[in-house]
Amino acid sequence: MTRELVLVGGGHSHVQVLKNFGMKPVPGMRLTLVARDVETPYSGMLPGFIAGHYDHDACHIDVMKLAGFAGARLIHAEAVGIDRTARTVHLRGRPPIRYDLLSLDIGSTPRAHDVPGAAEHATPVKPVDRLAGRWAALVERVSAADGPLDLVVVGGGAAGVELALSIDHRFRTTRFRPRVVLVTRGQMLSGHTDRVRAAFRRVVRERGVAVHEDAEVVKVEPEALLCTGGRRIRFDEALWAVQAGAAPWLRETGLRLDDKGFVAVDATLRSVNDPRIFAVGDVAAVLPYPREKAGVFAVRQGPPLTANLRRALAGEALRPFEPQTKFLKLITTGDKHAVASRGRLSAEGRWVWRLKDLIDRRFMDKFQNVLTMPPGGAAAAMDMRCAGCGAKVPSRLLRRVLERLAPEGLDAGDDAAVLSPPDDGGLMVQTVDFFRAFTSDPYLFGRIAANHALGDIHAMGAEPRTALAIACVPPAGAEIVEDDLYQMLRGGLDVLEQAGARLVGGHSAEGPEHALGFTITGSVAPGRILRKGGLKPGDRLILTKPLGTGVLLAAAMRGEAKARWIVAALASMEQSSGQAARCLGDHGATACTDVTGFGLIGHLAEMAQASDVDVRIDPDTVPALDGASEMLETGFRSTLHSGNAEAGGLAGEAPELLYDPQTAGGLLAGVPEAAADACIDALMAAGYVRATVIGIVEPMTGIAPAIRLGR
């Protein structure tokens, strides 16, 4: 790999780029997708989603699965800037990533700040990739209301009208049907033909949707809109569907923008003042062919963008793209009825909705039904590389990475770290963990790898002090290797520093894939140390995190896990167990371990054997990550699962979840019965919201410790 193409945003054009590059990869190029959300909504189906005709999955593209098909890295983060000199994209809350070629498809953002109070008191419809969560909260609020609510939609364009009618349709059968109001500063659907406007005036009148035209909102109060002329419109919920603007951070990039702040591009979709940057969709202003902000143009820009990115990578001349001047507009009325128009022609009826539904589903089918890996399988075999010490990362490159990391304690450059024993007479504890990358995001992988290694230290009740790292990166161009190594170690170092540990040394090497591990040294006062042995009859068994990372990662490798499940699993892996260990210690924990590769049953068996006790767990109380049980029922298993099941030693058949191997799993501890409830309360207050009592410790009744299922 010598070049990097970075796509920022998972919009309608970029999903087509991913699909195309997955079908025909470019040799020597690494593709990266930076996406704020891992499920991209298709704007054409969102009114149907609001109205209840489509479920969440029907109208969202799983870009995590699509990136896997394309062989692309997925960086789940929000872009907040571009350094064009350094060729890096700045990301919120994490290090920047580099690019050789960059494409922007980030849509638009609400212009709520143009009106005082709108940002504080109105709910923005855009960005549309956040609409599903906001809509779920609104549905819950309407369902729980003890009377009809006033729901106001601000914006009289096609998006606002569709939204108002879809909301009205969705709640027509609720106990207290909301009063839906549409507010627009001009005429409703002012950019459409007289026949289209007349059709929708009839529909809103028949539905009882109130329309306030020529009512420009000048201020938003907590429960009211103040409009020109002194008009005051009360609301319980105001949805802001006015024309959105460009991301404010674009102004700091030095890119040429149009007068509204959108990226100015030429007919080839390339920035007019930076040949390394392309822009499409709502964020782009195509100077030779100005058009309204509509999803149809983003869809149509996908193929020419893909072709020109390929040409740019090959050093070939780009080709201009001329969008159509007229296009078919399909506006729904909420109840599987729609109005079509093209130029001066128009029609309406249920058949129009069926036509729109067919077009939308065909588009979505291209991206929802893809293989996990692109045709042809994994990347071609790399050139023969040296092994042994010849496989080290070059010293100059490693030195640059360490200079960028600047970890305290590494300035001496000796062959080994020099440590002092604890001054307070405490004990030193040491552990090591190392594994291959399971995510294409090197920074996130570094964070989880460090958190996983720290788990053993936390389980002993110790505080981490120092760490040694061992990192493997695949051979590639020097800039790519440097950035990968930096991202991994930066992620690990951020976690280590937060835990109180210093990175004092390590080793790096080339390998066939990314891998990372840490040796952690910690210290603990003799009276605070926790071991696997020590469980006492009557102790309650507490688990601090849900299970399921193994099966979810296995399903994700085959493209079957939903992106939102994987995001939640990764967030669980990122959660440190440090505070959990302190809570357990403060409540008199008698024994503790972290649940990792051997699964809950394997680690519980170790505790029972070390303590000479029987344990009883209630499978119904064991928390599971979203999607884990579903994937187990479908037949997915981690490769370590069967070995865990064979070694389980359970008295009775156990649910498969109990054998699932975990990465950076939670702590499993015994806590005296009298302190168990208070311990759970403390854990939940500390952010371990799924912490649960899953069982009880009992006296050993046989010749060997046993694990039983049941209450």
Exposed / middle / buried, residue 150 (Cβ in 10 Å: 0-12, 13-18, 19+): middle
Cα angle 438, 443, 445; round to 5: 25
In 437-480, where do the E strands start and end?
463-473
Preceding amide of 127 cis, omega within 30: yes
Residue 97 pairs in a beta bridge with 89
Total count of residues recorded for the chain: 711
Residue 337: CB atoms within 10 Å: 17
Say how far apart CA 600 and CA 658 lie, in whole Å. 5
Tokens encoding 222: 């907590």
Say how far apart CA 160 and CA 154 lie, in whole Å. 7
Helix, strand, coil % over all residues of the chain, rounded to 5? 40, 25, 40
Local structure of 29: helix, strand or coil = strand
Residues 6+ apart with CB under 8 A from 411: none
| Nearest partner of 565 among 577, 557, 573, 556, judged by Cα | 556
| Nearest partner of 124 among 163, 91, 181, 92, judged by Cα | 163
Tokens encoding 247: 């991301």
Are residues 49 and 59 in contact, defined by beta-carbon separation less than 8 angstroms? yes
Say how far apart CA 399 and CA 401 lie, in whole Å. 5
Query: Which member of 59, 386, 389, 472 is catalytic?
Result: 389
Say how far apart CA 624 and CA 180 lie, in whole Å. 40
Q: Phi and psi for 98 in degrees, rounded to 5?
A: -90, 160
Tokens encoding 664: 């950076």
Q: Is 472 a catalytic residue?
A: no
Say how far apart CA 537 and CA 184 lie, in whole Å. 69
Are residues 235 and 152 in contact, defined by beta-carbon separation less than 8 angstroms? yes
Say how far apart CA 634 and CA 636 lie, in whole Å. 6
Positions annotated as catalytic residues are 389
